[in-house]
Chains A and B, each alone.
Chain A
């Protein structure tokens, strides 16, 4: 004899759920993988190891300072937790808990390093930044080592934006054009181009600067200027943008291109009106992230554009200051106020990078939401 699941066929309730008449609603139960024993062992180990290290620290163990204390405490916690777990559980569980602690600890260290970098820069640079003149004047309005109420980094901001603009104007069309060539046209020659472009992404930033210095400045005769710095930046940006754009364009399914060609379109129109718009957000993100990286590059501009204190918008003549360069010069000096200016400039640079980064992220997120 078979059994029914309930006394009779279930009734269909309004709303689509079917429930045997007369029984109360059921609710999900809380299911955890962590037992109470786990949390007790964890808490107990933390406290126990803390006490242990506290007692032994300065006296018996050969370390000193807060950092050493934290390290000792962490190691002691691992040992105590391992021993406590081993009394009740087999080896795989002991190992699992140990590695969980280590992995979480490592992630915390990295997170802490990142946070402390940002916080420290802001903290040290704050005295300089909350004067309005920092943003509206250039360094020549006050002395570099003078009080913070005079002078500012306007020239550096202008320099950075100019150099970035020129570099992007050069490397964007060339980079995306190369990517289009590699993906849409293809062929043996394009594979050569691809290999060389990949190799160039490995170029250390200082060599980009040195190449432009030797080639443009010494051989061709340009001055050390903003233009030269922009060229060095574009040498750096070009392979990166080309490679990211290449990845983005390859993601577009071949079916899309075929559909366009089947309608009678030319290849150029297919690329311009179908392929690129499909990946518009991805390409924009790639370019913006390339820009974010370029604006913070110090080594190339160090060599190709000189340091200056006055506002200079003439790109081809005279040294042009930029944010990373200003920071570099400032923090290397022995003067305290100058160093503070340097940190303040660091906040400005960080803010620009964060804005670019956030914009890039926002663009790629919008794309996902639209799908």
Chain B
């Protein structure tokens, strides 16, 4: 398997004409660096000095068994970790060289630049599909005229691979879509605020295989525009979509840490640590 190849079905074409147009170049994403990040919940340490570099133009996958801190690490990257009252952290997270946790950094701007898609789709049920996509604009105070907003909505839905299915019902409520469609709506919503980085926390774990495939196609499409970091339980998915991987592990009673990281191909074919090898070959998980 070569680096970054996407497994697609043989029959249908991947993108329709509108979506191909949307592949036009946008500015590439930003460089995200985690430097010796540790995390606690109260007195319980859950992450031990994780350092990871996530360059633009790449999809980084965080793999490992459940409960070893992958989601916690992801939430630290966009300052969602501190929403929990007992949460604490050490270390730095640098976006294009700037530590996002330095005092003086506006937190809302950080979260706008580093977007997140959650495991369970969470569109705003009181808003229509169109309003959901544009919700981020209203919430961050970006002012756009109506025509611009409609164009942006269409663009984001195209990039998320949802435009064809909803273009006639933008005024229907957000909760009326299927699970896979809701998740793509959430992706479109995150894209509307033009983030530099997109964090995805097991985005396909609650979805059926067809929706999963669609979302993986979307990830591949977005790679050049947004730096993507994805947490996944599914090793085959990591192999399909990512260019670099980090393997997290928490041995019994110890905080989670990165055992090994590097190019996806190397992690899967030439792992250096025996635990990595055991995991990618399915001997535990």
Contacts and interface: CB of A to CB of B under 8 A. Distances in A.
Are A and B in contact, CB atoms below 8 Å, in the complex?
Answer: yes
Nearest to A15: B253
A89 B106 CA distance: 10
Contact of A5 (B40, B51, B89, B267): B51
Contacts of B258: 5
Main secondary structure of the interface of A (DSSP, over half): loop
Contact of B101 (A29, A36, A92): A29
A182 to B, nearest CB: 33
A90 B141 contact: yes
Interface in B140-175: 140-141
A74 B82 CA distance: 32
Given A36-B103, A92-B139, A93-B108, A29 B254 contact: no
Interface string A1-15: 111111001101000
Interface in B106-155: 106-108, 139-141
Interface in A67-125: 89-93
A59 interface: no
B221 interface: no
Contacts of A10: 48, 254, 257
Contacts of B65: none
Nearest to A28: B88
Report the interface size class on chain B.
Answer: 35 or more
Contacts of A93: 106, 108, 141
Interface stretch (B54-62, B201-209, B230-238, B270-278): B270-278
A16 B88 contact: no
B267 A2 contact: yes
A2 B258 CA distance: 12
A189 interface: no
Interface stretch (A18-26, A199-207, A224-232, A336-344): A18-26
A266 interface: no
B259 interface: yes
A268 interface: no
B266 interface: yes
A32 interface: yes
Nearest to B39: A28
Contact of B45 (A6, A17, A92): A17
A259 to B, nearest CB: 33
B260 A18 contact: no
A6 B89 CA distance: 19
A31 B75 CA distance: 14
A290 to B, nearest CB: 35
Contacts of B49: 5-6, 19-20, 23, 26
B38 interface: yes
B106 A4 contact: no
Nearest to B82: A31
Interface in A190-205: none
Nearest to A94: B141
Contacts of B253: 16
B261 A2 contact: yes
B223 to A, nearest CB: 21
Contacts of A19: 48-49
Contact of A18 (B89, B257, B267): B257
A271 to B, nearest CB: 39
Interface in B48-94: 48-51, 82, 88-91
B255 A2 contact: no
Nearest to B36: A26
Interface of A: 1-6, 9-10, 12, 16-20, 23, 26-29, 31-33, 35-37, 89-93
17 contacts: A2-B272, A4-B260, A5-B51, A5-B257, A6-B49, A10-B48, A10-B257, A18-B251, A18-B255, A18-B257, A19-B49, A28-B38, A29-B89, A29-B101, A31-B101, A89-B106, A92-B140
Interface of B: 36, 38, 40, 45, 48-51, 82, 88-91, 101, 103-108, 139-141, 251, 253-255, 257-263, 266-267, 270-273, 276
